[in-house]
């Protein structure tokens, strides 16, 4: 079976939304790009879930059997379970998407950790979004985009040399244990 090659834009669209050349991080990652479930379907299910539980608990048959107090308590318990389902499905969907996107990202940038691009914390690549948006505004093709990002990654590492050195030392320390 032939392995599908994903573009850099495809990889980034799985974890970011890009509108008018502005990037925004997705809360629920889109696994559809890699052959999985689209995040819009997951959101739709999450939206419908409370209404479906309401219909199940407060229909005439169930409501008659439960009574008002038990129906309300039962509905609250079902909502708590629904929230746990939402958190679990989102977690596993995002984890699966990041795992696949990371594998594809390494084909383009083997020395750059994809999770650092997604991180909200301090990383050497904190300005990645700014550089990628700039490249999008310039309308670069795939190969030119890759070359430009390689240069941008090198510049970001030079600007944050202290952080890069600390991360390298930490990595060596962990490998030495």
Residue 60, CA distances (Å) to 57, 66, 69 in order? 9, 10, 15
pLDDT at 69 over 90: yes
pLDDT at 2 over 70: no
Closest CA to 102 of 11, 4, 9: 11
Q: Which of 58-62, 75-79, 96-100, 111-115 has the lowest mean pLDDT?
A: 111-115
pLDDT of 71: 93
**Model pTM score:** 0.80
Average pLDDT, the chain: 89
Q: Which of 14-23, 91-100, 118-127, 148-157 has the lowest mean pLDDT?
A: 118-127
**Close Cβ partners of 7 (under 8 Å, ≥ 6 residues apart):** 142
- Residues 129 and 75: their CA atoms lie apart, in Å, by 43
pLDDT of 29: 92
Q: What is the mean pLDDT of residues 90-103?
A: 93
Q: What is the pLDDT of residues 121-166, one digit of tens each?
A: 788 888 889 989 898 888 888 889 899 999 999 998 888 888 888 8
């Amino acid at each position: 079976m032939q392995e599908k090659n994903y573009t850099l834009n495809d990889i980034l669209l799985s974890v970011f939304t890009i509108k008018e050349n502005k990037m925004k991080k997705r809360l629920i990652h889109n696994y559809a790009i890699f052959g999985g479930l689209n995040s819009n379907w997951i959101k739709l299910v999450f939206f419908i879930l409370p209404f479906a539980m309401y219909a199940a608990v407060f229909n005439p048959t169930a409501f008659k059997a439960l009574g008002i107090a038990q129906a309300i308590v039962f509905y609250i318990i079902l909502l708590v379970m629904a929230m746990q389902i939402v958190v679990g499905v989102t977690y596993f969907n995002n984890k699966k998407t990041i795992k696949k996107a990371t594998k594809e990202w390494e084909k383009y940038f083997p020395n750059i950790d994809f999770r650092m691009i997604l991180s909200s914390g301090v990383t050497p690549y904190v300005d990645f979004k700014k550089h990628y948006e700039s490249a999008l505004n310039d309308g670069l093709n795939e190969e030119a985009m890759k070359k430009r990002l390689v240069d941008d990654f090198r510049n970001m590492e030079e600007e944050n040399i202290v952080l890069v050195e600390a991360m390298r030392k930490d990595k060596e320390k962990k490998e030495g244990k």
